Amino acid sequence: MQPLAGVRIVVTRAVHQAEELAAPLRALGANVILLPTIAIAPPENPAFLREAAAHCDQYDWIIFTSVNAVEAFAAELPPVNNCRARIATVGTATAQAAERCGFVVSLVPEKYVAESLVEAFAQQDLTDCHILIPSAAVTRDVVPRGLRKRGAQVDVVETYRNILPPEAAQKTKSIFRKPYPDWVLFASPSAVENLITLIGTEPLRNVSIATIGPVTSQTVLKTGLIVTAEAAVHSVPGLVEAVVRHY
């Protein structure tokens, strides 16, 4: 059964992550159009990241909120890793990435959003607890703000940057014209913002929009666009299911 047979779907994830979403869509019959609106770049000043990785044994907790943060941080760890910090992640995909990099994950909240991670620490005594959050250059401050309110010392270190791929502009113009695609899928707020930077909002009014979760949906809604489908489980499989459920 191919519920998405003939449906044209634009996938906006970064090149190294696109197939994770594209493959199941193709298996369901979709005509997938790859349009990476994000590329992952090193931090502006990698010295801070290297310093944090070199002294990760001084933290009580390290919190990862994305796969990209895990991979970028792990790449800077010293050959002999004596990191004693406990590991918390947002989402099972991030937890799996952490485990592949050799970390032992102690905490994964049920909901795949930052707010749930703060709630998951509700039973922890965070007084003078030293927490490291490797993150994107531009990120929400929900987790560090919430943990600091509970007495934790939180260090946020820039681990990577989401940039606009240079080849995206020309490709975008060729995709968002008549006949328009049926769907465009967003797995992060940065993907939304970068695509709108390229083409504005008008072409996207002709396309159904699906998002991986409420934070990405809020970014879409702030532009005046409509979210047609949102993943109930904020993961790649959940995003695929949201589109299938629509049909």
Q: What is the pLDDT of residues 95-119, one digit of tens each?
A: 999 999 999 999 888 776 667 788 8
CA distances in angstroms from 9 to 115, 194, 236, 241, listed in the order given? 30, 18, 14, 14
Instruction: Decide: 37 and 165 in contact? Cβ < 8 Å.
Output: yes
Task: Characterize the bridge pairing of strands 183-186 and 208-211.
Answer: parallel
Q: How far is CA 241 from CA 28, 47, 98, 142, 247, in A?
A: 11, 41, 25, 27, 10
* 8-38+164-246 shares its CATH topology with 41-162: yes
**CA 115, 142, 227 angle in degrees (round to 5)?**
65
DSSP secondary structure letters along the chain: --TTTT-EEEE-S-HHHHHHHHHHHHHTT-EEEE----EEE--S-HHHHHHHHHTGGG-SEEEE-SHHHHHHHHTTS-SS-----EEEESSHHHHHHHHHTTPPEEE--SSSSHHHHHHHTTTS--TT-EEEEEEESS---HHHHHHHHTT-EEEEEEEEEEE--TTHHHHHHHHSSSSPPSEEEESSHHHHHHHHHHH-SGGGGGSEEEESSHHHHHHHHHTT----EE-SSSSHHHHHHHHHHH-
Q: How far is CA 167 from the centre of its chain?
A: 21
Confidence band, pLDDT 50/70/90 cuts, at residue 120 = confident
Give the tokens for residue 37: 């609106």
Sign of the C-alpha dihedral, residues 67, 68, 71, 72?
negative
Task: Average the pLDDT over 5-16 and give the result.
Answer: 96
| 140-177 pLDDT tens trace | 688 888 899 889 999 999 999 989 998 899 899 999 99
Pick the CATH number of 41-162 from 3.40.50.10090, 1.10.10.10, 1.10.1660.10, 3.40.50.1100: 3.40.50.10090
**Residue-level pLDDT at 191:** 94
**Percent over 90 (pLDDT), the chain:** 72
Question: If pLDDT is split at 50, 70 and 90, which confidence band does 81 have?
Answer: low
Instruction: Give the span between the Cα atoms of 12 and 37, in whole angstroms.
Output: 5
Query: Model confidence at 55, in pLDDT bands (50, 70, 90)?
Result: very high
pLDDT for the residue 1: 76
Query: CATH topology for 8-38+164-246?
Result: Rossmann fold (3.40.50)
pLDDT, residue 124, reads 79
Q: What is the pLDDT of residue 179?
A: 93
Mean pLDDT of 115-140: 83
Specify the length of the chain in residues. Answer: 247
The predicted model gives 213-235 an average pLDDT of 94
Q: Is 107 exposed, middle or buried (0-12, 13-18, 19+ CB in 10 A)?
A: middle
Q: How many CB atoms lie within 10 A of CB 82?
A: 8
**Boundaries of every domain in the chain:** 8-38+164-246, 41-162
CA 108/CA 105 separation, integer angstroms:
8
pLDDT at 113: 66
Q: Which residues have a Cβ under 8 Å from the Cβ of 226 and sit 6 or more positions away?
A: 209, 220
User: What is the reported pLDDT for 115?
Assistant: 74
